[in-house]
Structures are given as C-alpha cells and as structure tokens.
Amino acid sequence: MNIKQYLDSTYLKTAAQAGLTEKENNLIVEGFIQEAINEGFKLIMIRPNHVKTARQLISNAGSKLLIGTVISFPEGTNSLEEKLTEAKKAIDDGVDELDFVCNYKAFKKGESDLVKEEILKGTQLAFDHHKAAKWIIEVAALTDDQIIQLSALIKNVVMANFKEDCYANVYVKSSTGFYVTENNKPNGATKHTVIIMLENASPLPVKAAGGVRTYEEAEEMIRLGVKRIGTSAAKTIANGEIASGGY
C-alpha cells in the first residue's frame, strides 16, 4: 500500500490562528507545499489565498501534486452565491479539488432544501470545470442520526443529478478540524463516525479528516473503505511516527 497516495497534506491556519505574521505563515504554507511535492503526497490542502502560490511551485517542480482548498471555511454558513464565487476564484487560480463546508447548521434546523441546492450547484460548478468536490459535514456537530441523514442527502442529490461515472469525484468528508467540542471530545474523524458515513454515503467516496495521527490509524481507515485522509501530519504518519496533535 502506498499510503502517501491517500494523504491530503493539510495546513489551514490563518496567520492570526497560528500566532504569526502573514509573512511567517506564508513561509509555513510554502514549506508544506514543498514537502508534499518532495514526499509524493496525493494533494496539498490550503486556504484559497494560497492556491496561486501552490500552482506556481508545483508547476516549477513538474509535480503531479493536486491542489485542494476549502470553501466557506470553517462555518459553512456563507450564502450559496458567496460559496460559488469563492469556488470560482479558486478554480481560476488553479485549484484541483474544492472542499465545501456544507451548511450543516441549516440542515440541523430542517432547511434541507437550502442544503440540497448548495450540494447541487457546488458540485455542478466543480464538474463544469473538471474538478472534484468534497462536502464537509462536521461530524462532531451532528448526532449519529444526523450524520446518517446528511450523508444520505448528499448521496441522493448526486445520484439524482449526475451520471454514475461522476460519483467517484464527489466525496463526503468528515470534518474541518476547527470545530470546538466540549470536554475535549474528538472533533475529527473517528472509526465510529467514518463507518456511519461509509454505510450511508456509498457509492460516493469518503474522506476522513482530522483525528488520524498514526500510520496504523490511517491504515485502518483505508481498510474500512476511506479513499482519502486529511491530516496536518502527513509526513509523520507516512514515516510511521505518531503525530503529537492538531488536525
């Protein structure tokens, strides 16, 4: 198993969140991009304002590394128009994959039609430009029943509106890694939540994001059926070491 081809190396902190200047944070982002190129990871996941830099570095290196970015991150409450505008800008800047934060708060309030429309329009925009779409459902903010329902909603919208050969390019993704939980509960993927997602999102693929910190945990997720893993410790995991914390 080439575990590196399952790993989306991730750095999503703003300068303020990292306690750094913009210049210092930009250097960290560039370091993550270069490391992902050198290590042969599947994808580098960064904020939209870094996509142009990533495209230039990857092009200069002649690398096949994919670029992913997050849309309406981390709350997911932006309007559909705002989400599509942000996604289109990332596409113009050279992104390969769009990780939309689903409006899970609207879903929890029963506003299913709003969520269905953003899934449809966001996925359509991605496909119109030959990009993959991932929908982050924020499992730590949901009950098991809500994870079942939201995973199934995404699946049903995709299956009703797109051809079967498109399914592999629409992921249901567990977490942003930025959700604040009570009592130090996990805010990312767990075996329990991933199994629920796999059972209810299929035939769409699942991305386990956050909470995977060892090679063994990554391997277990892949055995369960996960197709991608988002982590800020991709090199540590690939080397068989234990990540100390973070996403």
Catalytic, out of 13, 83, 173, 235: 173
Contacts 24+ apart (CB under 8 A), 55-60: 55/93, 55/94, 57/30, 57/33, 58/33
Three-state DSSP class for residue 15: helix
The secondary element (H helix, E strand) that includes residue 230 is strand 228-231
Catalytic residue among 131, 134, 207, 235: 207
Asked about 92 being catalytic, the answer comes back as no
Residues ≥6 apart with Cβ < 8 Å to 190: 139, 211
- How does DSSP assign 45-66, residue by residue? EE-GGGHHHHHHHHHHHT---E
Asked about 13 being catalytic, the answer comes back as no
Four-point Cα dihedral 118, 179, 41, 43, nearest 10: 20
- Residue 40 near residue 63 (C-beta atoms within 8 A): no
Active-site residue, from 96, 99, 131, 235: 99
Token duo for residue 140: 């730590």
Q: Is 105 a catalytic residue?
A: no
Contact of 194 with 206, CB cutoff 8 Å: yes
Residue by residue, DSSP assigns 146-204 as HHHHHHHHHHHHHHHHS-GGGGGGEEEE---S-PPPGGG---S--HHHHHHHHHHHTTS
- Catalytic residues, by residue number, are 99, 173, 207
